[in-house]
């Protein structure tokens, strides 16, 4: 089999843990999840990191989220990441939902988390810009050696099995879906974050409009129109 080194370069809270579990039980995959922490992206560790790709016919990594920080970002530029990858995907989801899911996650896993919804919205202003500046994100990847396959979290929520089949088809693997991994996905609007800053709302909505124009897809349900 031709070597497959698959990476998802999309957003957090878009189903990547579920996809990791699915791929981990696929009968054609002999490799394992490339669980690489940020420190291993640094240049001094690239030699050992590369050995993973030399060992297995198929590897997969879900731990690369669009842009990272400082010297790590330099390694994650398209011209560098493609020295390993053969397939790339990016999962797209409403930035409002991503931030809301991150807020709920922090509340659930951190007993000392004391930020109000309003305060959390303010302290994540940089994340809002990173996850909403879709023009920059698309421009960043458009000249990739490997075209990025863009997929929508909404489609995962609607039909996880078909979503998995689409990934398998993209990777050239036989269709596979592990129905024992019964994660319930939802575009949950319950107890949402408070976005009362018009400038922030406009910024996010403009980013959603870029996605709409790029894929000719109606995403009006993503937007905050209050």
Residue 114 to residue 196: CA distance in whole angstroms: 20
CB-CB neighbours of 19 under 10 Å: 22
Strands 87-92 and 148-152: parallel
Q: Structure pTM?
A: 0.84
**For 188-210, how does the pLDDT look when each residue is reduced to its tens digit (9 = 90+)?**
555 667 677 777 788 889 999 99
What are the counts of helices (DSSP H) followed by strands (DSSP E) for the chain? 11, 4
Residue 217, helix vs strand vs coil = coil
The DSSP call for residue 190 is S
Contact 200, 125 (CB under 8 A): yes
Residue 113 to residue 214: CA distance in whole angstroms: 38
Tokens (6 digits) for 99: 């931030």
Confidence of residue 39 (pLDDT cuts 50, 70, 90): very low
Contact 82, 145 (CB under 8 A): yes
pLDDT of residue 142: 81
- Of all residues in the chain, the percent with pLDDT exceeding 70 is 73
CB neighbour list of residue 49: distance below 8 Å, 6 or more residues apart: 36, 40, 41
Mean model confidence pLDDT for the chain:
78
HSE-up (13 A, CA, CB side) for residue 68: 19
Tokens (6 digits) for 65: 């989220």
The CATH classification number of 4-222 equals 3.40.50.300
Give CB contacts under 8 A, 24+ apart, made by 159-163. Answer: 160/18, 160/185, 163/15
**For 89-134, how does the pLDDT look when each residue is reduced to its tens digit (9 = 90+)?**
999 998 888 888 888 888 777 878 778 777 777 777 677 777 788 8
pLDDT of residue 152: 96
CB-CB neighbours of 29 under 10 Å: 21
Contact 178, 22 (CB under 8 A): yes
pLDDT of residue 141: 82
Helices (H), the chain: 16-24, 46-55, 70-75, 78-81, 95-109, 117-123, 125-132, 134-141, 153-158, 160-171, 198-215
Q: CA quadruple 47, 50, 54, 55: dihedral positive or negative?
A: positive
Indicate the domain borders of the chain: 4-222
């Amino acid at each position: 089999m031709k070597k497959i080194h698959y990476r998802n370069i999309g957003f957090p809270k878009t189903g990547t843990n579920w996809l990791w579990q699915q791929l981990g039980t696929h009968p054609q995959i002999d490799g394992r999840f490339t669980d690489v922490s940020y420190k291993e992206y640094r240049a001094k560790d690239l030699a050992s990191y590369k050995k993973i790709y030399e060992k297995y016919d198929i590897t997969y990594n879900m731990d690369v989220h669009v842009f990272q920080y400082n010297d790590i970002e330099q390694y994650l530029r398209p011209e560098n990441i493609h020295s390993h990858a053969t397939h790339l995907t990016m999962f797209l989801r409403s930035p409002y939902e991503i931030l809301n899911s991150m807020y709920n996650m922090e509340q659930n896993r951190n007993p000392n988390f004391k930020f109000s919804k309003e305060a959390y919205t303010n302290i994540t202003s940089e994340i809002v810009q990173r996850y909403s500046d879709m023009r920059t994100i698309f421009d960043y990847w458009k000249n990739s050696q490997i075209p990025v396959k863009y997929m929508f979290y909404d489609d995962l929520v609607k039909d996880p099995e078909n979503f998995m089949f689409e990934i398998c088809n993209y990777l050239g693997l036989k269709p596979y879906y592990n129905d024992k991994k019964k994660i319930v996905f939802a575009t949950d609007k319950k107890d949402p974050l408070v976005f009362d800053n018009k400038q922030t709302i406009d910024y996010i909505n403009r980013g959603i409009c870029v996605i709409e124009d790029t894929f000719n897809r109606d995403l009006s349900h993503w937007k905050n129109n209050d």
